[in-house]
Amino acid sequence: MKILRTRSEVKSALAPYRKEGKTIGLVPTMGALHEGHLSLVEKSKSNSDITISSIYVNPTQFNNPKDLEKYPRPVEKDLKLLEDNGVDFVFLPDDGEMYPSETRLKFDFADLEKVLEGEFRPGHFNGVGIVVSKLFHIIQPDHAYFGQKDLQQVAVIKRLVNDLSFGVEIITVDTMREKDGLAMSSRNIRLDDRDRLVATILYRCLTFAKDELLAGRDWFETKEKVTRRFLDEPKARLEYFELVKADTMEKVTAITTGETFAICTAAFIKEVRLIDNLLIID
């Protein structure tokens, strides 16, 4: 595995493979890797000839400076994991490489950034759009792999690719979960043992709501029951719990046949913010 730190190093390293007609798969990460990230690597290795992963904690997508400051950065451990899992290259830039000058461009993802994460994290998807665009331009992958846990981010990136005609296929990989259902996340390591148990409330409420909807129950009554469950847990604070169309993130109040829906949620376990979702295909 070779570590690349600059755009010119990336271009030189990947040029021979492009000349041979090899396909290049990109696994973008912000580090603090877990099995969810490694499932993206596995998918890339099975689907692309060359796998390159990026590790970069992108400051422009954090609307909370304290969240950025506390974001874990175990770089040496991450590099060892990527090497052990057969990654060919790692793009490990610093801020000066990714942002040599202030970025003044602003993305507007319209309806996609006005709900859920966009509503509660203003500016977040603008930062995502900027850094992903930079990675696509620098690496020029044939495929890019993202996890379903960040479902709204996937929808935003698909719109970015479609509207700007990027020559990359976006491949979504199922959410990886712990045995008790908690979605794997880099933020989980900030939870102590007690809070870690409390965090399972997200998945428990998602599965409860999905079962209720599939049984024909009313969405508003279901959502009210979930809200009461969170109120009964003093260490958890619900931020949102919504039923949406999975491709557009449009809020709905019922599921219908022939479309894919998702229940999406965000909650704080003490000061740690977690997100999760479950798809519903009726």
At 63 the pLDDT is: 86
Which residues make up each annotated binding site?
30-37, 61, 147-150, 153, 184-187
For 88-100, b/e burial (b = at least 16 CB within 10 A) is: bbbbbbeeebbbe
Closest CA to 29 of 7, 51, 6, 1: 51
Q: Which residues are annotated as a binding site for (R)-pantoate?
A: 61, 153
Contact 171, 43 (CB under 8 A): yes
- pLDDT of the residue at 64: 87
Q: Per CATH, which fold does 2-173 belong to?
A: Rossmann fold (3.40.50)
Binding residues for ATP: 30-37, 147-150, 184-187
Domain residue ranges in the chain:
2-173, 186-276
pLDDT in tens, the chain (282 residues): 999 999 999 999 999 999 999 999 999 999 999 999 999 999 999 999 999 999 999 999 998 898 999 899 999 999 999 999 999 999 999 999 999 999 999 999 999 999 999 999 999 999 999 999 999 999 999 999 999 999 999 999 999 999 999 999 999 999 999 999 999 999 999 999 999 999 999 999 999 999 999 999 999 999 999 999 999 999 999 999 999 999 999 999 999 998 999 999 999 999 999 999 999 986
Closest-CA residue to 267 (of 279, 259, 275, 258): 275
- Residues labelled catalytic: 37
CATH label, 186-276, candidates 3.40.50.10490, 3.30.1300.10, 3.40.50.720, 3.10.250.10: 3.30.1300.10
**Contact 87/51 with Cβ under 8 angstroms?**
yes
Q: Please tell me the predicted confidence (pLDDT) of residue 282.
A: 65
